[in-house]
Chain A
């Protein structure tokens, strides 16, 4: 693959470390580069020409740029720490043992079978899939199209990269460590301001690393080193290299992605959130392509990229390089190439003349310059062989293996765009710039469109001074440095050449959008820049149109007789460059996704063989000590509760103390039932609503004393209900004499349920009377149980006699142990969540969120009577008389019994008169289980007009089959409540 006509390493030059060779592989071939190389520079130095294939036509493509502007060099890359499924070669620093693979082209980018698509290019124009493939049916073509598009390879291997979230607040954020950013940071340093300087490259200096510049007579690199040393001497300056500012948000908040690399690859990644009072945007600019026929051949590259390859990496992209330009920076490329010993047969300038000083310098280094000329076409399939140059009266063919193009400059102002800035087109420099920067921002240097280094430095000093006086810190006046370099000069753009086929002029290399596609879009009136983008896919590739957008919209402006400014740019949205989802998720994965909440008696549950599940808390779903598998254990646990006694840990249940003279009145405003009439020792079950009348939570409220209540919201809503109480207390009823204190975690609650529950409780020797005629259902007692302070509520979720014993959390384990130890003869069993929920289902009690949904009101679950009795107001009450709540067609809670078959939660009830799907549905099964007590499959359901349909037989579509069911009352077990009142 290596041959001199492709790229090669120069004998000298660059800032790479030629003492440190680095070996890596590309598609299995073992290659070598140097420390300081990017993967792109190392591949070019090794003579790799075709790096990928284009998206649509599978045209061979080479390196077009050296950084993130390159549309072509997407590769899958693995280093010692992780894997990138698709990343530009120019964004990867070479590390020892790195493996890179093509992600486009099959079997290889060099030889790609699908390149046959080019033969069909006539029918693959813009929007072809909306048109060509509509007949006979798009679905016929879809599988083929899907297979042939997209790229990137997934790898399920877990990344070993260390991930961290970092948060920082700074006085000044300087984005870009080139001459502009360095100068601004240097001047602000040692002023006491906290400064963060970020640059996406591992080494500061920006274009100074490769452009021919000297400062006060010394090479720019020395000036960079001195400046960086001065910055490092200030402890208030943080320098983040290899760090991309990915997004800008309001209040000058930014996200940054910092990569920390060692010789084996990217070892760690830090995702920063940073806020700054002032921002210096010094992100520079990027070269633009020129449009001409067959401008996409491998070997054609941006001029600035050629200079960077030579200057930073000591790599020549070709041995014979033609230069094509419409501005003076092309001359810099020709001169740099000549200095590196590359043959430059001709510099083609579209303008009648170049700036005198540039032209003279080029000719002095032996470059022939031709003016008023254009490239009409190129030849060479997998690598450039020659270009055809058409002058005003001549046509000549120039043999060359490389072509450097420069179509003008595009300032990198995407971050300002994230803040809503609309870029404005500046005719003279042919570029979009920021006119009105966001508050606190200073846009300087290339990002501000500066084409002269002296202007850039002056802008940087001015920005620093402005920030200094803004912030009231004294600032020494930075000394003027004398700079010796050539400017980027002037430009006169010619967007489309007069010669060459428009159907062979590529605007977007990655997505294969050609000038002819823009012609088509204009003809079909997709002339808005946003429509143009979607219709043609211009700028929709992974490079987000960094090189293509301006050319595309300039062509559209010409086609529709508008100014470029009137066409405008598409909207820039975060992120500026691709950020992996894993970087954003960062460490919030697996065990670190969110904190696990453990019951206070967790160790006992583990000892009992509790199979833990995450219900917001880690709770036992069932216990291995009760059966070999889930079903048999759950049944044993249910039977224990029904026949003798079960012990259930309900510590996660919400507990909110509400105290004060107005506590009862306060609670009454939330619950459907009147809590103000609750006497000390009493307990009441109810639901609470949001103002729209929909059930928000349910639970019991216990009255512990005259001004002292304990509300028991569901486990899942414990925090939300406490917040809801507090919001109303503060915002609407600030004069009520009431205090709200969430105490969920302070108390452990163990429920004892079953016919023997009282006997078991008695063995704990409570210091209060628990005889049935004294301590009745729906009552609460405070005292001591097993010698520790306890609150015992006699409430039932299972339909059996049941006590909930609450003790301070630290006694949870000993209470649970004591219950199981002292229960000999009563055979108490630990009961898990599943058995508990099935027991309440047999009883027909609702499980909030399962048997209620975002529309369910108390009227739908049989609480209409309680609502009707309430004379005073409560939250949501007014909504219950709105038409939606009183409608005849409400889904109401009913019981369901299967007549043969097994019910499953989620099963849909078919509308009356329908026996087959698809058909309308009249509700669904909200909970279901097999009931050991009843010996059949039962469930609860929300069914349209359910209340009046009890006894009716319906069909239920359940997991693919249709079963017959009878609608019943929701209460399947002990409808007379004899058992819980025992």
Chain B
């Protein structure tokens, strides 16, 4: 069971109280019309699936309702960093 301390309400939340929002830092283009079909479908569907550290977004759904970001090891589920949405990962790794 994944347990994360929400960086906004500062409460420990278990997986059941959180909702998962997939990989973090998938930026939506300001003008999608200028993208090629390939660029747009990459944005829609292509995600990293590393065996290792992944930066992802979660929502404190049953708590304060805020979205935040974490870095999680996909094998061990170890969480190496939790940040507010407007913060940058201290980040050794750029995925």
Contact = CB atoms under 8 A, between A and B. Distances in A.
Contacts of A439: 76
A250 to B, nearest CB: 4
A873 B77 contact: no
Contacts of B1: 249-251, 253, 273, 275
A730 B33 contact: no
Interface in A685-707: 691-692
A250 B31 CA distance: 41
B41 interface: yes
A814 interface: no
B3 A731 contact: no
Interface in B32-90: 32-33, 35, 37, 40-41, 43-44, 57, 59, 61, 65-67, 75-77, 85-86
B14 to A, nearest CB: 8
B28 A732 contact: yes
B90 to A, nearest CB: 20
Contact of A879 (B40, B76, B86): B40
B45 to A, nearest CB: 8
A275 B44 contact: no
Interface in A868-895: 873, 877-879, 882-883
B2 A251 contact: yes
Contact of B77 (A251, A691, A878, A883): A251
Interface string A700-734: 00000000000000000000000100110011101
B7 to A, nearest CB: 13
Contacts of A249: 1
A229 B66 CA distance: 48
Contacts of A879: 40, 44
A275 B31 contact: no
Contacts of B40: 878-879, 882
A250 B67 contact: no
Contact of B37 (A275, A691, A731, A882): A882
A830 to B, nearest CB: 37
Contact of A883 (B14, B37, B67): B37
B72 to A, nearest CB: 10
B76 A727 contact: no
Contact of B44 (A251, A692, A732): A692
Interface in A654-699: 691-692
B21 A250 contact: no
A730 B35 CA distance: 24
A14 B65 CA distance: 58
Give the residue among B32, B37, B57 with the most A Cβ atoms within 10 A.
B32
A252 to B, nearest CB: 9
A844 to B, nearest CB: 31
B28 A250 contact: no
A691 B43 CA distance: 10
Nearest to B12: A169
A877 B32 contact: yes
Contacts of B43: 691
Contacts of B37: 882-883
B35 to A, nearest CB: 7
B77 to A, nearest CB: 4
Nearest to A727: B67
Contact of B66 (A420, A730, A873, A878): A730
Contacts of A420: 75
Contact of B85 (A251, A275, A730, A882): A730
Contacts of A883: 37
A420 B73 CA distance: 14
A878 B3 contact: no
A873 B32 contact: yes
A439 B76 CA distance: 10
A357 to B, nearest CB: 45
A10 B32 CA distance: 84
B76 A250 contact: yes
B85 A731 contact: yes
Given A275-B3, A730-B85, A882 B41 contact: yes
A514 B33 CA distance: 67
A520 B87 CA distance: 62
A691 B1 CA distance: 30
A734 B32 contact: no
A439 B79 CA distance: 14
Give the residue among A420, A439, A692, A727 with the most B Cβ atoms within 10 A.
A727
B85 A878 contact: no
Contacts of B77: 250-251
Contacts of B76: 250, 439
Nearest to A728: B28
A873 B3 contact: no
Give the residue among A250, A731, A873, A883 with the most B Cβ atoms within 10 A.
A731
Interface string B1-33: 111000000000010000001000000100111
A723 B41 CA distance: 24
A726 B2 contact: no
B33 A878 contact: yes
Contacts of A273: 1
Nearest to B40: A878
A114 to B, nearest CB: 45
A691 B26 CA distance: 13
A878 B2 CA distance: 35
Contacts of A730: 66-67, 85
Contacts of A732: 28
Nearest to A692: B44
Given A249-B1, A250-B1, A727 B35 contact: no
Interface in A229-254: 249-251, 253
B44 A734 contact: no
Interface in A428-453: 439
Given A251-B1, A273-B1, A691-B44, A878 B32 contact: yes
Given A253-B1, A275-B3, A726 B35 contact: no
A876 to B, nearest CB: 9
Contacts of B57: 731
A732 B65 CA distance: 15
Given A251-B77, A275-B1, A734 B85 contact: yes
Nearest to B35: A878
Given A250-B77, A251-B2, A879-B44, A734 B86 contact: yes
B31 A873 contact: yes
Nearest to B16: A273
A658 to B, nearest CB: 16
B65 A726 contact: yes
B59 A873 contact: no
Nearest to B1: A253
Give the residue among A250, A691, A692, A883 with the most B Cβ atoms within 10 A.
A250
Contacts of A251: 1-3, 77
Per CB-CB distance, the 4 closest pairs between chain A and chain B, nearest first, are: A253-B1, A878-B32, A250-B77, A730-B67
25 contacts: A249-B1, A250-B1, A250-B2, A250-B76, A250-B77, A251-B3, A273-B1, A275-B3, A420-B75, A691-B43, A691-B44, A723-B59, A726-B65, A727-B21, A730-B66, A730-B85, A731-B67, A731-B85, A732-B28, A873-B31, A873-B33, A877-B32, A877-B33, A878-B32, A882-B40
Given A275-B1, A883-B37, 14 more contacts: A250-B1, A250-B77, A251-B1, A251-B3, A253-B1, A275-B3, A439-B76, A691-B44, A692-B44, A726-B65, A730-B85, A734-B86, A873-B31, A878-B33
